Amino acid sequence: MDRQRSGRDAEALAHRHLVAQGLHLLAQNWRCRCGELDLVMLDGDTVVFVEVRYRRHLAWGGALESVDARKRMKLVRTAQYFLQKELRWARHPCRFDVVAITNADEGTFSHLNWVRNAFDA
């Protein structure tokens, strides 16, 4: 599986999982000069910025651990820009979730870990 395809597949899996849990998609792969938001979902009245992380191997650390301080800062700036551009969501409560996905066998995902409120802005 090539890297881009496995990334898209991981995002699709995360999206399906979150929808099955009752969240609604607002935006996918939302881009601006600050960065990209993998998924922007609505959970009740809360806007949820979801970072999807996929790791094939744990040799360089797990998917969840890859959301370091630098990445969190970039996500916060991008989310702020999203809220400036999408004013209808600006007054809603927000949170940052991470969906970490790993696999054991080539081409199949073996574990999905959804961390709600993974970090604060």
How far is Cα 87 from Cα 8, in angstroms, rounded to an integer?
A: 28
pLDDT at residue number 103: 73
pTM, to two decimals: 0.87
CA distance 37 to 6: 17
What are the pLDDT tens digits along the chain (121 aa)? 576 777 788 899 999 999 999 999 999 999 999 999 999 999 999 999 999 988 765 555 566 666 788 998 999 999 999 999 999 999 999 999 999 888 755 555 568 889 999 988 8
Please name each of the domains of the chain with its CATH number: 3-119 (3.40.1350.10)
Nearest alpha carbon to residue 35 among 2, 91, 82 = 82
Query: Tokens standing for 106?
Result: 């080539």
